[in-house]
Protein backbone atom coordinates (compact mmCIF):
# COMPACT_ATOMS: atom_id res chain seq x y z
CA UNK A 1 0.00 0.00 0.00
CA UNK A 2 1.15 3.54 -0.79
CA UNK A 3 0.36 6.19 1.78
CA UNK A 4 0.51 9.91 2.25
CA UNK A 5 2.04 11.06 5.50
CA UNK A 6 2.12 14.70 6.44
CA UNK A 7 4.87 15.84 8.77
CA UNK A 8 6.84 19.02 9.43
CA UNK A 9 9.22 19.70 6.55
CA UNK A 10 12.20 21.99 6.21
CA UNK A 11 9.96 24.59 4.64
CA UNK A 12 6.43 25.52 5.71
CA UNK A 13 5.10 25.22 2.15
CA UNK A 14 6.03 21.54 1.73
CA UNK A 15 4.79 18.26 3.13
CA UNK A 16 6.41 14.87 3.45
CA UNK A 17 5.04 12.12 1.23
CA UNK A 18 5.93 8.44 1.43
CA UNK A 19 5.53 6.09 -1.51
CA UNK A 20 7.56 3.35 -3.18
CA UNK A 21 10.22 3.38 -5.89
CA UNK A 22 12.43 0.63 -7.35
CA UNK A 23 16.07 0.79 -6.27
CA UNK A 24 17.50 1.19 -9.78
CA UNK A 25 15.22 4.16 -10.48
CA UNK A 26 16.02 5.76 -7.14
CA UNK A 27 19.75 5.45 -7.90
CA UNK A 28 19.36 6.96 -11.37
CA UNK A 29 17.39 9.83 -9.85
CA UNK A 30 20.05 10.44 -7.20
CA UNK A 31 22.87 10.50 -9.76
CA UNK A 32 21.05 12.67 -12.30
CA UNK A 33 19.95 15.21 -9.69
CA UNK A 34 23.57 15.48 -8.51
CA UNK A 35 24.76 15.91 -12.10
CA UNK A 36 22.39 18.86 -12.52
CA UNK A 37 23.18 20.24 -9.07
CA UNK A 38 19.60 20.17 -7.77
CA UNK A 39 17.81 18.58 -4.83
CA UNK A 40 16.08 15.25 -5.39
CA UNK A 41 12.80 16.69 -4.16
CA UNK A 42 12.95 19.41 -6.83
CA UNK A 43 13.43 16.77 -9.53
CA UNK A 44 10.49 14.70 -8.24
CA UNK A 45 8.31 17.79 -8.00
CA UNK A 46 9.04 18.73 -11.62
CA UNK A 47 8.51 15.15 -12.80
CA UNK A 48 5.11 14.92 -11.10
CA UNK A 49 4.06 18.30 -12.49
CA UNK A 50 4.98 17.29 -16.04
CA UNK A 51 3.36 13.86 -15.66
CA UNK A 52 0.07 15.36 -14.46
CA UNK A 53 0.01 17.70 -17.45
CA UNK A 54 0.45 14.92 -20.02
CA UNK A 55 -2.56 14.05 -22.16
CA UNK A 56 -2.20 10.36 -21.29
CA UNK A 57 -0.12 7.99 -19.20
CA UNK A 58 3.29 6.77 -20.26
CA UNK A 59 4.58 3.26 -20.80
CA UNK A 60 4.68 1.02 -17.76
CA UNK A 61 7.85 1.15 -15.66
CA UNK A 62 9.11 -2.02 -14.02
CA UNK A 63 8.48 -1.45 -10.31
CA UNK A 64 9.43 -4.92 -9.09
CA UNK A 65 11.34 -4.82 -5.84
CA UNK A 66 10.18 -1.31 -4.95
CA UNK A 67 10.86 -0.07 -1.44
CA UNK A 68 9.85 2.90 0.65
CA UNK A 69 10.71 6.31 -0.81
CA UNK A 70 9.98 9.66 0.85
CA UNK A 71 10.35 13.24 -0.28
CA UNK A 72 8.93 16.71 0.36
CA UNK A 73 6.47 18.24 -2.12
CA UNK A 74 4.49 21.50 -2.21
CA UNK A 75 1.17 21.35 -0.39
CA UNK A 76 -1.57 20.11 -2.69
CA UNK A 77 0.67 18.53 -5.34
CA UNK A 78 0.26 14.98 -4.01
CA UNK A 79 -3.55 15.31 -4.02
CA UNK A 80 -3.45 16.41 -7.68
CA UNK A 81 -1.14 13.51 -8.43
CA UNK A 82 -3.40 10.93 -6.76
CA UNK A 83 -6.43 12.23 -8.68
CA UNK A 84 -4.53 12.01 -11.97
CA UNK A 85 -3.32 8.49 -11.17
CA UNK A 86 -6.89 7.44 -10.38
CA UNK A 87 -8.19 8.92 -13.64
CA UNK A 88 -5.51 7.02 -15.58
CA UNK A 89 -6.14 3.83 -13.59
CA UNK A 90 -2.51 3.42 -12.53
CA UNK A 91 -1.23 2.77 -9.04
CA UNK A 92 0.47 5.57 -7.13
CA UNK A 93 3.75 3.62 -7.21
CA UNK A 94 3.49 3.24 -11.00
CA UNK A 95 2.55 6.89 -11.43
CA UNK A 96 5.49 8.02 -9.31
CA UNK A 97 7.87 5.76 -11.23
CA UNK A 98 6.58 7.18 -14.52
CA UNK A 99 7.00 10.74 -13.17
CA UNK A 100 10.60 10.09 -12.14
CA UNK A 101 11.39 8.39 -15.46
CA UNK A 102 9.81 11.33 -17.31
CA UNK A 103 12.10 13.74 -15.46
CA UNK A 104 15.11 11.57 -16.28
CA UNK A 105 14.13 11.44 -19.97
CA UNK A 106 13.69 15.21 -20.21
CA UNK A 107 16.85 15.97 -18.21
CA UNK A 108 19.64 13.85 -19.74
CA UNK A 109 23.08 13.72 -18.19
CA UNK A 110 24.96 16.93 -19.01
CA UNK A 111 27.89 16.78 -21.40
CA UNK A 112 31.33 16.76 -19.80
CA UNK A 113 32.92 20.18 -20.24
CA UNK A 114 36.00 19.98 -22.45
CA UNK A 115 38.55 22.78 -22.47
CA UNK A 116 39.72 23.98 -25.88
CA UNK A 117 43.29 23.82 -24.53
CA UNK A 118 44.47 20.61 -22.88
CA UNK A 119 45.31 21.32 -19.25
CA UNK A 120 48.83 20.43 -18.11
CA UNK A 121 49.48 19.77 -14.43
CA UNK A 122 53.12 19.42 -13.36
CA UNK A 123 53.42 17.56 -10.04
CA UNK A 124 56.78 18.47 -8.59
CA UNK A 125 59.22 19.01 -5.74
CA UNK A 126 63.00 18.81 -5.74
CA UNK A 127 62.89 16.54 -2.66
CA UNK A 128 62.25 12.85 -3.13
CA UNK A 129 60.05 10.78 -0.86
CA UNK A 130 57.26 13.34 -0.41
CA UNK A 131 54.77 11.25 -2.37
CA UNK A 132 54.60 13.07 -5.71
CA UNK A 133 53.81 9.80 -7.45
CA UNK A 134 50.90 8.96 -5.15
CA UNK A 135 49.44 12.44 -5.66
CA UNK A 136 49.91 12.23 -9.44
CA UNK A 137 48.11 8.89 -9.59
CA UNK A 138 45.33 9.85 -7.17
CA UNK A 139 44.69 13.16 -8.88
CA UNK A 140 44.54 11.55 -12.32
CA UNK A 141 42.22 8.82 -11.06
CA UNK A 142 39.88 11.37 -9.46
CA UNK A 143 39.77 13.43 -12.66
CA UNK A 144 38.87 10.35 -14.72
CA UNK A 145 36.21 8.77 -12.47
CA UNK A 146 32.82 7.72 -13.84
CA UNK A 147 30.53 10.77 -14.29
CA UNK A 148 27.49 8.48 -14.14
CA UNK A 149 28.21 7.27 -10.61
CA UNK A 150 28.45 9.00 -7.25
CA UNK A 151 31.70 9.13 -5.29
CA UNK A 152 32.47 10.35 -1.77
CA UNK A 153 34.21 13.75 -1.86
CA UNK A 154 35.48 15.89 0.99
CA UNK A 155 33.71 19.24 0.58
CA UNK A 156 35.64 22.50 0.50
CA UNK A 157 34.65 23.58 4.01
CA UNK A 158 36.07 20.32 5.33
CA UNK A 159 39.53 21.11 3.94
CA UNK A 160 39.75 24.22 6.11
CA UNK A 161 38.46 22.19 9.03
CA UNK A 162 40.97 19.41 8.36
CA UNK A 163 43.83 21.89 8.33
CA UNK A 164 43.39 22.12 12.08
CA UNK A 165 45.74 19.58 13.60
CA UNK A 166 43.13 18.31 16.04
CA UNK A 167 40.78 17.30 13.20
CA UNK A 168 43.47 15.33 11.41
CA UNK A 169 44.49 13.73 14.70
CA UNK A 170 40.96 12.41 15.12
CA UNK A 171 41.08 10.81 11.68
CA UNK A 172 44.36 9.12 12.51
CA UNK A 173 42.88 7.76 15.71
CA UNK A 174 40.65 5.72 13.44
CA UNK A 175 37.48 7.79 13.66
CA UNK A 176 35.44 8.42 10.56
CA UNK A 177 35.20 11.92 9.13
CA UNK A 178 32.05 13.86 9.96
CA UNK A 179 29.49 12.73 7.35
CA UNK A 180 28.40 16.35 7.00
CA UNK A 181 31.87 17.05 5.59
CA UNK A 182 31.52 14.43 2.83
CA UNK A 183 29.30 14.77 -0.22
CA UNK A 184 28.42 12.20 -2.87
CA UNK A 185 29.15 13.77 -6.26
CA UNK A 186 29.34 12.52 -9.86
CA UNK A 187 32.81 11.71 -11.18
CA UNK A 188 34.54 14.35 -13.31
CA UNK A 189 34.78 12.10 -16.38
CA UNK A 190 37.91 13.69 -17.82
CA UNK A 191 40.20 11.99 -20.34
CA UNK A 192 43.52 11.86 -18.50
CA UNK A 193 47.08 10.99 -19.48
CA UNK A 194 49.52 10.33 -16.66
CA UNK A 195 53.14 10.86 -17.73
CA UNK A 196 55.83 9.09 -15.73
CA UNK A 197 58.69 11.56 -16.19
CA UNK A 198 60.81 10.06 -13.41
CA UNK A 199 63.60 7.61 -14.36
CA UNK A 200 62.88 5.66 -11.17
CA UNK A 201 59.60 4.53 -12.80
CA UNK A 202 57.60 4.66 -9.56
CA UNK A 203 54.32 5.70 -11.21
CA UNK A 204 54.68 3.01 -13.86
CA UNK A 205 55.30 0.32 -11.27
CA UNK A 206 52.58 1.49 -8.88
CA UNK A 207 49.91 1.23 -11.56
CA UNK A 208 50.98 -2.27 -12.57
CA UNK A 209 52.63 -1.37 -15.89
CA UNK A 210 56.12 -2.31 -17.06
CA UNK A 211 58.91 0.25 -17.55
CA UNK A 212 59.91 0.70 -21.17
CA UNK A 213 63.03 -1.25 -22.26
CA UNK A 214 66.28 0.67 -22.60
CA UNK A 215 66.79 -0.45 -26.21
CA UNK A 216 63.35 0.64 -27.39
CA UNK A 217 61.50 3.90 -27.83
CA UNK A 218 60.79 6.28 -24.94
CA UNK A 219 59.72 9.79 -24.02
CA UNK A 220 63.41 10.59 -23.54
CA UNK A 221 64.12 9.69 -27.18
CA UNK A 222 61.28 11.89 -28.40
CA UNK A 223 62.49 14.82 -26.30
CA UNK A 224 66.06 14.36 -27.55
CA UNK A 225 64.97 14.26 -31.20
CA UNK A 226 65.76 10.57 -31.60
CA UNK A 227 62.25 9.08 -31.78
CA UNK A 228 61.94 5.47 -32.95
CA UNK A 229 58.20 5.49 -33.56
CA UNK A 230 54.89 7.06 -32.56
CA UNK A 231 54.68 8.04 -28.89
CA UNK A 232 51.04 6.88 -28.86
CA UNK A 233 52.24 3.32 -29.30
CA UNK A 234 53.88 3.47 -25.87
CA UNK A 235 50.73 4.50 -23.99
CA UNK A 236 48.87 1.93 -21.89
CA UNK A 237 45.32 2.08 -20.57
CA UNK A 238 44.66 1.74 -16.85
CA UNK A 239 41.89 -0.82 -17.23
CA UNK A 240 39.35 -0.39 -14.48
CA UNK A 241 35.60 0.08 -14.86
CA UNK A 242 35.76 3.19 -12.64
CA UNK A 243 37.70 4.94 -15.42
CA UNK A 244 36.17 3.22 -18.49
CA UNK A 245 39.12 3.85 -20.80
CA UNK A 246 39.54 7.50 -19.77
CA UNK A 247 42.79 6.98 -17.78
CA UNK A 248 46.03 6.29 -19.64
CA UNK A 249 49.70 6.09 -18.70
CA UNK A 250 52.86 6.93 -20.62
CA UNK A 251 55.36 4.63 -18.85
CA UNK A 252 58.85 5.69 -17.88
CA UNK A 253 62.17 4.26 -18.98
CA UNK A 254 65.44 4.20 -17.05
CA UNK A 255 67.03 6.11 -19.93
CA UNK A 256 65.55 9.26 -18.37
CA UNK A 257 68.57 9.23 -16.03
CA UNK A 258 70.49 10.48 -19.08
CA UNK A 259 67.89 13.05 -20.11
CA UNK A 260 69.68 16.16 -18.85
CA UNK A 261 72.86 15.16 -20.70
CA UNK A 262 70.95 14.53 -23.92
CA UNK A 263 68.94 17.75 -23.59
CA UNK A 264 72.15 19.80 -23.32
CA UNK A 265 72.68 19.19 -27.04
CA UNK A 266 69.07 20.03 -28.04
CA UNK A 267 68.03 23.43 -29.38
CA UNK A 268 65.27 25.18 -27.41
CA UNK A 269 65.59 22.41 -24.85
CA UNK A 270 63.07 24.01 -22.48
CA UNK A 271 60.37 23.17 -25.07
CA UNK A 272 61.47 19.54 -25.53
CA UNK A 273 58.69 18.02 -23.40
CA UNK A 274 56.08 20.13 -25.15
CA UNK A 275 57.31 19.09 -28.58
CA UNK A 276 57.11 15.44 -27.56
CA UNK A 277 53.66 15.57 -25.95
CA UNK A 278 51.94 18.09 -28.25
CA UNK A 279 50.80 15.41 -30.76
CA UNK A 280 48.94 13.63 -27.93
CA UNK A 281 47.07 16.60 -26.53
CA UNK A 282 43.96 16.39 -28.72
CA UNK A 283 43.25 12.95 -27.18
CA UNK A 284 43.09 14.25 -23.59
CA UNK A 285 41.46 16.85 -21.39
CA UNK A 286 44.26 16.79 -18.81
CA UNK A 287 47.89 15.66 -18.87
CA UNK A 288 49.45 15.12 -15.43
CA UNK A 289 53.25 14.87 -15.29
CA UNK A 290 55.00 13.12 -12.41
CA UNK A 291 58.32 14.97 -12.28
CA UNK A 292 61.66 13.64 -11.04
CA UNK A 293 63.17 15.03 -7.81
CA UNK A 294 65.58 17.18 -9.78
CA UNK A 295 66.38 20.81 -10.51
CA UNK A 296 68.05 20.05 -13.85
CA UNK A 297 67.10 20.65 -17.46
CA UNK A 298 64.30 18.10 -17.29
CA UNK A 299 62.56 20.18 -14.60
CA UNK A 300 62.97 23.28 -16.77
CA UNK A 301 61.25 21.43 -19.60
CA UNK A 302 58.43 20.30 -17.30
CA UNK A 303 57.86 23.76 -15.86
CA UNK A 304 57.85 25.28 -19.35
CA UNK A 305 55.30 22.68 -20.46
CA UNK A 306 53.01 23.83 -17.66
CA UNK A 307 53.22 27.50 -18.60
CA UNK A 308 50.06 29.46 -19.37
CA UNK A 309 49.44 29.44 -23.13
CA UNK A 310 47.84 32.13 -25.25
CA UNK A 311 44.10 32.09 -24.67
CA UNK A 312 44.35 29.93 -21.55
CA UNK A 313 42.79 31.19 -18.32
CA UNK A 314 45.03 31.60 -15.25
CA UNK A 315 45.12 28.54 -13.02
CA UNK A 316 44.13 26.02 -15.69
CA UNK A 317 47.66 24.66 -16.05
CA UNK A 318 50.76 24.96 -13.92
CA UNK A 319 52.77 23.51 -11.05
CA UNK A 320 51.25 21.50 -8.21
CA UNK A 321 53.82 21.25 -5.43
CA UNK A 322 53.81 18.25 -3.10
CA UNK A 323 55.38 18.67 0.33
CA UNK A 324 55.44 17.07 3.75
CA UNK A 325 55.01 18.81 7.09
CA UNK A 326 58.71 18.85 7.97
CA UNK A 327 61.67 21.19 7.51
CA UNK A 328 63.45 19.55 4.56
CA UNK A 329 60.34 19.98 2.39
CA UNK A 330 60.46 23.72 3.09
CA UNK A 331 64.08 23.90 1.92
CA UNK A 332 63.25 21.95 -1.26
CA UNK A 333 60.20 24.17 -1.85
CA UNK A 334 62.39 27.27 -1.80
CA UNK A 335 64.80 25.74 -4.34
CA UNK A 336 61.97 24.70 -6.66
CA UNK A 337 60.12 28.02 -6.59
CA UNK A 338 63.39 29.86 -7.19
CA UNK A 339 63.99 27.74 -10.29
CA UNK A 340 60.45 28.33 -11.60
CA UNK A 341 60.64 32.06 -10.89
CA UNK A 342 64.00 32.27 -12.70
CA UNK A 343 62.49 30.44 -15.68
CA UNK A 344 59.58 32.86 -15.69
CA UNK A 345 61.94 35.83 -15.81
CA UNK A 346 64.42 34.37 -18.31
CA UNK A 347 61.82 33.21 -20.84
CA UNK A 348 59.16 35.85 -20.10
CA UNK A 349 56.41 33.26 -19.53
CA UNK A 350 53.62 32.86 -16.97
CA UNK A 351 53.89 29.68 -14.92
CA UNK A 352 51.02 29.45 -12.44
CA UNK A 353 51.19 27.72 -9.09
CA UNK A 354 48.10 25.53 -8.77
CA UNK A 355 48.70 25.04 -5.06
CA UNK A 356 50.46 23.03 -2.38
CA UNK A 357 49.51 19.50 -1.35
CA UNK A 358 50.62 18.52 2.15
CA UNK A 359 51.02 14.76 1.85
CA UNK A 360 51.64 11.92 4.33
CA UNK A 361 50.43 14.06 7.21
CA UNK A 362 50.13 12.69 10.75
CA UNK A 363 49.62 15.12 13.63
CA UNK A 364 50.74 12.43 16.09
CA UNK A 365 54.29 13.22 15.02
CA UNK A 366 53.96 16.24 17.24
CA UNK A 367 55.04 19.84 17.12
CA UNK A 368 57.27 19.56 14.03
CA UNK A 369 54.35 18.24 11.97
CA UNK A 370 51.68 20.61 13.28
CA UNK A 371 53.87 23.72 13.18
CA UNK A 372 55.13 22.85 9.69
CA UNK A 373 51.54 22.41 8.50
CA UNK A 374 50.73 25.84 9.87
CA UNK A 375 53.74 27.21 7.99
CA UNK A 376 52.38 25.87 4.70
CA UNK A 377 48.92 27.28 5.42
CA UNK A 378 50.45 30.69 6.19
CA UNK A 379 52.02 30.97 2.72
CA UNK A 380 48.60 31.82 1.18
CA UNK A 381 49.97 32.09 -2.39
CA UNK A 382 50.21 29.36 -3.43
CA UNK A 383 47.58 28.11 -1.02
CA UNK A 384 47.18 24.63 0.41
CA UNK A 385 44.73 22.80 -1.87
CA UNK A 386 45.07 19.32 -0.40
CA UNK A 387 45.85 17.56 2.85
CA UNK A 388 46.38 13.81 2.52
CA UNK A 389 46.91 11.66 5.58
CA UNK A 390 49.59 9.00 6.06
CA UNK A 391 47.18 6.04 6.03
CA UNK A 392 47.54 2.39 5.14
CA UNK A 393 45.27 2.26 2.06
CA UNK A 394 47.74 4.04 -0.22
CA UNK A 395 50.55 1.70 0.79
CA UNK A 396 48.30 -1.31 0.25
CA UNK A 397 47.26 -0.07 -3.20
CA UNK A 398 50.92 0.32 -4.16
CA UNK A 399 51.70 -3.19 -2.89
CA UNK A 400 48.96 -4.78 -5.03
CA UNK A 401 49.67 -2.41 -7.97
CA UNK A 402 46.12 -1.06 -8.19
CA UNK A 403 44.76 2.50 -8.43
CA UNK A 404 43.92 3.80 -4.96
CA UNK A 405 40.47 5.02 -5.99
CA UNK A 406 39.41 1.58 -7.16
CA UNK A 407 41.25 -0.36 -4.43
CA UNK A 408 39.86 1.74 -1.55
CA UNK A 409 37.27 4.13 -3.05
CA UNK A 410 35.76 5.11 0.32
CA UNK A 411 39.04 5.63 2.17
CA UNK A 412 39.93 9.02 3.61
CA UNK A 413 42.79 9.29 1.12
CA UNK A 414 40.45 8.63 -1.83
CA UNK A 415 37.98 11.19 -0.51
CA UNK A 416 40.84 13.71 -0.22
CA UNK A 417 42.11 12.98 -3.75
CA UNK A 418 38.66 13.76 -5.17
CA UNK A 419 38.59 17.01 -3.24
CA UNK A 420 42.04 17.87 -4.62
CA UNK A 421 40.86 17.20 -8.18
CA UNK A 422 38.01 19.67 -7.70
CA UNK A 423 40.27 22.26 -6.09
CA UNK A 424 42.56 22.33 -9.13
CA UNK A 425 39.80 21.93 -11.77
Residues 377-406 have a mean pLDDT of: 93
Band of residue 242 on the pLDDT scale cut at 50, 70, 90:
confident
Give kind and range of the element (H or E) at residue 182: strand 182-186
Q: Where in the chain is the domain with CATH 3.40.50.300?
A: 119-423
Among the four given CATH numbers 3.40.50.1980, 3.20.80.10, 3.40.50.300, 3.40.630.30, the one describing domain 119-423? 3.40.50.300
DSSP H helix total and E strand total for the chain? 17, 12
Q: Report the alpha-carbon distance of residue 2 to residue 61 in Å, rounded.
A: 16
Closest CA to 126 of 271, 296, 263, 287: 296
| Upper half-sphere CA count for residue 101 (Cβ side, 13 Å) | 18
pLDDT in tens, 155-209: 766 666 666 543 444 444 333 456 558 999 999 999 999 999 999 999 999 999 9
Indicate the average pLDDT of the chain: 90
CATH fold for domain 14-106: Arc Repressor Mutant (1.10.1220)
CATH 1.10.1220 residue window(s) in the chain: 14-106
- The model's pTM is 0.89
β-strand partners of 21: 67
For 75-79, 219-223, 371-375, 419-423, which range has the lowest pLDDT when averaged over its residues? 371-375
pLDDT > 70: what percent of the chain?
A: 91
| Percent of the chain whose pLDDT exceeds 90 | 75
Residue 408: CA atoms inside 13 Å, Cβ hemisphere, count? 20
Amino acid sequence: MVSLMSSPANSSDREKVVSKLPGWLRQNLKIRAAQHGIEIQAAVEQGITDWCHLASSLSQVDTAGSSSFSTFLPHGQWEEFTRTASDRRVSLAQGLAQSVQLWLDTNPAPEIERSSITRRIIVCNQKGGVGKTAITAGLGEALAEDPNALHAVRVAKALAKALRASEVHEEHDGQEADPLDVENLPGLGQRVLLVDFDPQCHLTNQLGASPLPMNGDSLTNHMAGDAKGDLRDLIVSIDDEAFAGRLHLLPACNDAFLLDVRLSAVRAREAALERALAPLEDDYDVIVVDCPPSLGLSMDAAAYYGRRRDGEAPGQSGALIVVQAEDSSADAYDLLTTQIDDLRADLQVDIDYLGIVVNLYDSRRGYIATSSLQGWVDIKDPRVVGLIGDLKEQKEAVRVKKPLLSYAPKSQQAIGMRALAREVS
